[in-house]
Amino acid sequence: IEKYLGRKKYEADMANEKDDIGIVRGLAWTAVGGTTLQIEVNTMPGKGVLKLTGQLGDVMKESAHIALSFVRSIVADYGVDKKFFEENDIHIHVPEGAVPKDGPSAGITMATAILSAVAKIPVKCSVAMTGEINLRGNVMPIGGLKEKLLAAKNAGIKMVLALKR
């Protein structure tokens, strides 16, 4: 096809090539369809500061705070000292910083990325997820699932985690 039509103007977001710590693929809905959304979390020595970057809207910022609170409540189950959060900063970044992002459905993705980074557990690169979470970690329904599933398929994702209504 490239021979006749030329190179693609837009490349679909592809799944990461390897399992990684602190990097999780989420799914998002936009006015033009679904897309994948990478959530990256890094930890570093500090004083317990949460830094958010990637042009996140207010609702997405709240999702990050909820995700962090939930992870803090369960982190002992993963062998992490609760003092970790007093002695380290957490940075959550959603790439493509020029593109504004908002909505609650990245909550479970953020929680997974935070837990992965804090507990040093790699996340499978073939998995994507979507869902709002509450402070107890319950996943709530989201919209645009059909579009999100199509985006996952196009990105080479093998498994999607989402709440069935």
Tell me which residues are annotated as active site.
105, 148
Name the burial class of residue 65, with classes exposed (0-12), middle (13-18) and buried (19+) by CB atoms within 10 angstroms of its CB: middle
Q: Rounded to 5 degrees, what angle do the CA atoms 141, 49, 121 make? A: 60
* Cβ neighbours around 6 below 10 Å, total: 8
Residue 80, helix vs strand vs coil: coil
Size of the chain in residues: 165
CB contact set of 106 (below 8 Å; sequence gap of 6+): 26, 28, 37, 39, 60, 63, 94, 130
